[in-house]
Amino acid sequence: MSKIQMLTPIVEMDGDEMTHILWGMIKEKLIRPFVDLKTVYYDLGLRHRDETSDQVTIDAANAIKQYKVGVKCATITPNAARVEEYDLKEMWKSPNGTIRAALDGTVFRAPILVKGIEPCVRNWKKPITLARHAYGDVYRNTEMAIPGPGRVELVYTPVNGSPQKALVHEFDDAGIVQGMHNRQSSIESFARSCFSYALDVGQDLWFATKDTISKTYDQNFKLTFQKIFDEEFAEKFEKAGIQYFYTLIDDAVARVMKAEGGFIWACKNYDGDVMSDMVSSAFGSLAMMTSVLVSPDGYYEYEAAHGTVQKHYYKYLNGEPTSTNSVATIFAWTGALARIGLINENQPLVDFAHKLEEKTLETIAEGKMTGDLARITTLENPTVLGSEEFIDAIAEKMA
């Protein structure tokens, strides 16, 4: 059998711990037997990030700009314990944060639905994809404790011209204050990424803020989305038969619970942080959640939503059996391969990616799954497979 060719490579970012072990197995057993895999390889494993003083992460982000599509393994975001464990020169920043900053993108998270793993919300029949704005608001805030009586003001000092002031509060006792911001350019990129992604996947887009209360800040998000939609996307949406729908965040939350899914829900940074955890756990498992960073310039970076599964890795190192779910990592690979296939009009590669997804889900639907899914499945008598056995079961179907 001749292997499927790739016309241009994708950027491959290897990572850490258990997901690094799965990474190798997926390539060897599920991809290389069928595809003449071409990647530009970056090792974002923590040791190599430390050796290169994190330059490798910046190089990888730049490579995505060159090759348009990347696939990333989960990586350790160092904390104090990791600095000691790996004897790091510095507490390096989150690679995801570095890549996101370089590509200026929006992160879309979508659950992988499969027979036997049922959402807690009975009426959810199709995936709900959450799009989280990844810049500003409370994540870049400035806070102050107010010890006692006094006046707090917002002051804007323009480069040219005289300062503008607004009263925040006239304190007659102790209290707290918080200042936050966003940039117009970031809000516009967020809007464009959401509209483009909705067109890409042919799904409606919902967006919600608290504009009734926040009459300048949230109102700006609402108006910016509407303006960009009217000027750049309304016609394309009509042609594609999809809709843009704005509502108040409270109303959106209520409607999401009653909806059947199959749409994209765009959220401001904080709403997206909180709601993505609710949506992903209600769909079943973090190990069944994909994540793609889409930049306004049309670059795509695919990954699993979960971390490096540290506890399983230490078992693996001790020679104990593990049952780590590789589905989200497999779907990161298929997402990236299908995307580069689409860009290069390489239909066999697109077909291969879809086939691998189908066979992965078939394996689970037949009752063969890893321990995390076996614990929550509605199928009777599931067969619990080890990390490698599960990948082997998919490989058998692919052959």
| Residues that bind Mg ion in the complex, under the rule CB under 5 A | 273, 277
Nearest to Mg ion of 107, 117 (CB atom): 107
Nearest to ligand NAP of 6, 69 (CB atom): 69
Pick what 286 binds: Mg ion, ligand NAP, none; C-beta below 5 to 8 Å, kind-dependent: ligand NAP
User: Tokens 């992160």 map to which residue?
Assistant: 107
Q: Which residue is nearest to ligand NAP (CB)?
A: 307
Q: Does 96 bind ligand NAP (CB under 6 A)?
A: yes
DSSP, residue by residue, 34-92: TB---EEEEE-SHHHHHHTTTHHHHHHHHHHHHHSEEEE-------HHHHHHTT-SS-P
Q: How far is the CB of 157 from ligand NAP (least distance, A)?
A: 38
Among 71-79, 113-121, 154-162, 275-283, which window interacts with ligand NAP (CB under 6 A)?
71-79
Pick what 277 binds: ligand NAP, Mg ion, none; C-beta below 5 to 8 Å, kind-dependent: Mg ion
- Cβ–Cβ under 8 Å, residues 107 and 100: yes
Nearest to Mg ion of 277, 297 (CB atom): 277
Q: How far is the CB of 104 from ligand NAP (least distance, A)?
A: 18
Q: Which of residues 278-317 bind ligand NAP (CB under 6 A)?
A: 286-287, 303, 306-311
The total of other beta-carbon atoms located within 10 Å of residue 47's CB is 13
- Cβ–Cβ under 8 Å, residues 194 and 205: yes
Terminal C-alpha separation, the chain = 11
Distances (CA, A) of 236 to 162, 194, 201, 243, 247: 44, 13, 13, 10, 21
Instruction: For residue 142, give both structure tokens.
Output: 């400035």
Q: Does 26 bind ligand NAP (CB under 6 A)?
A: no
Nearest to ligand NAP of 249, 293 (CB atom): 293
Nearest to ligand NAP of 349, 369 (CB atom): 369
Q: Which of residues 209-268 bind ligand NAP (CB under 6 A)?
A: none
Beta pairing partners, 46: none
Beta pairing partners, 4: 35
Q: Does 346 bind ligand NAP (CB under 6 A)?
A: no
Residue 226: partners with Cβ closer than 8 Å, 6 or more residues away: 246
Instruction: For residue 297, give both structure tokens.
Output: 């310039």
Pick what 273 binds: ligand NAP, Mg ion, none; C-beta below 5 to 8 Å, kind-dependent: Mg ion
Pick what 63 binds: ligand NAP, Mg ion, none; C-beta below 5 to 8 Å, kind-dependent: none
Coil, helix or strand at residue 101: helix
CA dihedral 236, 196, 133, 130 (to 10 degrees): 90
For ligand NAP, the binding residue among 198, 372, 382, 393 (CB under 6 A) is 372
Q: How far is the CB of 296 from ligand NAP (least distance, A)?
A: 21
Beta strands 106-111; 289-294: pairing state: antiparallel
User: Tokens 């936050």 map to which residue?
Assistant: 180
Q: How far is the CB of 201 from ligand NAP (least distance, A)?
A: 21
| # binding residues, ligand NAP (CB under 6 A) | 17
For ligand NAP, the binding residue among 39, 325, 363, 377 (CB under 6 A) is 325
Q: How far is the CB of 273 from Mg ion (least distance, A)?
A: 4
Name the nearest CA neighbour of 288 among 360, 215, 199: 360
Instruction: For residue 99, give both structure tokens.
Output: 């890549």
DSSP state for residue 331 in the 8-state scheme: H
Per CB under 6 A, residues contacting ligand NAP are: 74-77, 96, 286-287, 303, 306-311, 324-325, 372
